[in-house]
Structure 1
Amino acid sequence: MRVATLGYQTWGHRTLQALLASRHEVVLAVTHPKSEHAYERMWADSVADLAAEHEVPVHISNKPDADFKAALADADPDIIIANNWRTWLPKDVFDRPRYGTLNIHDSLLPKYTGFSPLIWALINGESEVGLTAHLMDEELDAGAIVLQRTTPVGAKDTVTDLFHRTVDMIGPITLDALDLIESGRTDWTPQDRSQATFFHKRAAEDSRIDWTWPAEVLERLVRAQSDPYPNAFTTFKGQRVRVLESSVSKGYYGGTPGRVFIHEGDGMVIVAGPDAWSGRNHGLSIERVRLDDGTEMTGKEFFPHGGGYLGV
């Protein structure tokens, strides 16, 4: 088939890479301009550079304006494949090709519609994550499902681990979904929108540790903000402290959320939870930190004794 791609960063790059190595003809690659947003500077393999290397026409745009639509009309694809396209598409774009537009989304839709699904899924303690290949319609990430693939979430997995596993699934799910569409099948699975969850784009504030959250959730937040993602952070005596490693404390500790309390091994336990006053909660043991100057220390080294509060 004649394929046009709408893609950005490593997700779009992997999609285009798979298509270029397939029997399909890539007739256009549309991508966004480079961004200085923290989440767009990482995993930033260039779709434009890859397309140019293979002499595929490239169009750079943030939105489907007149020039975008003209480039698409000139390319005349049978299908559009989108992955990590970050702005709304009108019906006259996604419905223009004979087979419409196939979107590759890195969640198990209808859960985790929107942005940063792997991060939110890990924070929420999901047992598996994956990819969904679905046909686009007027509602964001809501179209009928062509194919889904899953991978389990381990107890110590970081979002970086999940990124690498799911990004390796992009090529196979894209080509397998194309084969199903080209075969003439139309018996796709409608999404149950009553089960949909929609998450916003992450910003710096979303990495700030809220000590009223349960320690189990905070431990997952730390793993969901592993390098190269902006790390989970707190403040201590006016200094920003990035938390690189943590665990749920062995003991139960009570008091005020954010209190620097007691050592466990090489970690310092911080009182946490919405009912920390009860004394029935585990705390979060901070085991490794990084300061703004790049210095890394164990929790015990950074907090030589208990006392004081985090977040102030």
Structure 2
Amino acid sequence: MSAAGITVATPLRHPARGRRAVVFAYHNVGVRCLKVLLAGGVDVALVVTHEDSANENIWFESVVSLCRSEGIAYTTPADAKSAELLARVRAAQPELMFSFYYRHMLPAELLAVAPAYNMHGSLLPEFRGRAPVNWAVLHGADVTGATLHEMTVKPDAGAIVAQMEVPILPDDSAFEVFGKVTVAAEQALWRVLPTLLAGTAPRLPNDLTRGGYFGGRTPEDGRIDWQLPAQQVYNLHRAVAPPYPGAFTDVAGVRYVIERARLGKDTCEQISNVAALSLPPGLAVVDNCIFGVCGDGRMLTISALSADGAAVSAQQLHSRLAASASGQ
């Protein structure tokens, strides 16, 4: 049944065995961490989540589906600051609150209801704020992870309760790293949950003089500046590669999105390294291979390129680039 944005699934679970909690959750991290709480005997009285956006590529798991299968009451309010949501959370009488990749900031009134903990997708204090995995890849970090920390009005500023790190390999995309961070979040929560429920969890300093805050990202942030060194262009590609919107470049009114690329010594690049020295920055076709020529003379080998959602072959791109150069 549903009313005023509140949906209550038919109860399926046994009576609660543990402390009572309200959980704000979305995305894969929300699903996995919610499962950890259930496995740990936490009485999840209410889940606050989001309606999926029709304008977004939904490639991740559904918190709503999990709530329905587990018989957990859930709500999808448009405004986390609404009086209705505050009343609903207070009525649940939680002893603890958790936020697992919930997309809205929780106001002070909500945080005052019960001790609250947030799972953040980086090794705090590094990469505080939005899209931490994408920013870590973009900046060429070789390690990241997940951090459970106390929630305060200031985002990602509370004391650290648990951390788990994962490597970022040189060719990892943000999607691949996010999968690792999801597992790290699950492990970090699982390990600390008994002491958290007992009130004896550690509280480690979160040194805000280190790291920094990063904002959200939009598809436009994937625009490639071919004058940059190849490593920076490659990091951008890795940071926004599908299922994210992708790194792109516009040529003669056509937007080309790099689906897959490498910065390495594969066969095509070995053939064409010298040729890059005489090619202008941007897309190029050499020996029937697609390249992205960068400002330092190095090239990305592009194995999958698309335009308007359709794959573009090396032959097609060669013809289009030639026509553009001749002014046709």
Shorter-normalised TM-score: what interval?
0.7 to 0.9
Retained in 2: the 8 A contact 1:7–1:83?
yes
Retained in 2: the 8 A contact 1:262–1:305?
no
Query: Which residue number corresponds to residue 240 of structure 2?
Result: 225
The one-letter code of the counterpart of 1:267 is: I
The answer for unaligned runs of 5 or more in structure 1 is 274-279
Q: TM-score, normalised by structure 2?
A: 0.81
Query: Which residue number corresponds to residue 267 of structure 1?
Result: 290
Equivalent in 203, 216, 223 of residue 231 of structure 2:
216
Query: Which residue number corresponds to residue 23 of structure 1?
Result: 41
Deviation of 1:293 after TM superposition, in Å, equals 4.2
Deviation of 1:198 after TM superposition, in Å, equals 1.5
Retained in 1: the 8 A contact 2:48–2:74?
yes
**Inter-CA distance 66–293: structure 2 relative to 1 (3 Å threshold):** closer
**Inter-CA distance 216–50: structure 2 relative to 1 (3 Å threshold):** same
Is 2:137 the partner of 1:122?
yes
Query: Which residue number corresponds to residue 258 of structure 1?
Result: 281
Retained in 2: the 8 A contact 1:212–1:257?
no
The one-letter code of the counterpart of 2:26 is: Y
Deviation of 1:141 after TM superposition, in Å, equals 0.9
Retained in 1: the 8 A contact 2:164–2:185?
no
Retained in 1: the 8 A contact 2:147–2:185?
no
- Looking at structure 1, the residues matched to 278 and 112 of structure 2 have their Cα atoms a distance apart, in angstroms, of 57
Identity of aligned residues (%): 27
Equivalent in 60, 75, 93 of residue 76 of structure 1:
93
The one-letter code of the counterpart of 1:217 is: Q
The one-letter code of the counterpart of 2:172 is: D
Q: Deviations over 1:133-187 (max 9, x none)?
A: 0001121111111111011111221112112222123332223232232333364
- Looking at structure 1, the residues matched to 287 and 123 of structure 2 have their Cα atoms a distance apart, in angstroms, of 37
Retained in 1: the 8 A contact 2:166–2:180?
yes
The one-letter code of the counterpart of 1:159 is: A
Retained in 1: the 8 A contact 2:240–2:247?
yes
Query: Which residue number corresponds to residue 88 of structure 1?
Result: 105
- Looking at structure 2, the residues matched to 293 and 143 of structure 1 have their Cα atoms a distance apart, in angstroms, of 43
Retained in 2: the 8 A contact 1:131–1:166?
yes
Equivalent in 305, 312, 315 of residue 289 of structure 1:
305
- Count of residues in Structure 1 that have an aligned counterpart in Structure 2: 297
Equivalent in 38, 54, 76 of residue 60 of structure 1:
76
Q: TM-score, normalised by structure 1?
A: 0.85
**Inter-CA distance 304–288: structure 2 relative to 1 (3 Å threshold):** farther
After superposition, residues 1-312 of structure 1 pair within 5 angstroms as 1-38=19-56, 41-61=57-77, 62-97=79-114, 100-185=115-200, 187-248=202-263, 251=273, 253=276, 258-260=281-283, 263=286, 266-270=289-293, 272-273=294-295, 281-298=297-314, 302-303=317-318
Q: Secondary structure at the match of 2:175?
A: helix
Q: Secondary structure at the match of 2:240?
A: coil
The answer for unaligned runs of 5 or more in structure 2 is 1-18, 264-268
